[in-house]
Structure 1
Amino acid sequence: MEHTLTIGKLARAAGVGVETVRYYHRCGLLPVPERAHGAIRQYSQQSLQRLHFIRQAQSLGFTLDEVRILLQQNHGQCSTARALAERKLGLVEERLRDLLRMRAELQNLIGQCRANGTEECCPLIDTLAANVESDQTCHAAALSAGLP
Structure 2
Amino acid sequence: MFLCGIVLYLTVHVLLTFFQLVLYKRDYTIGHVFSWDSTFAILGAVGLTISVLSIDFKSGRLEKIICYVGKNTFYIYLIHFLVIKKLDSFGFGKWLLLKSGNEAVGEVIYTFCYITVVFAISLIISSMIEMVKFIIRNIKNKKIEVE
Greater RCO (CA < 8 Å, at least 6 residues apart): 2
TM-score, structure 1 as length reference: 0.33
TM-score, structure 2 as length reference: 0.33
Bigger CA radius of gyration: 1
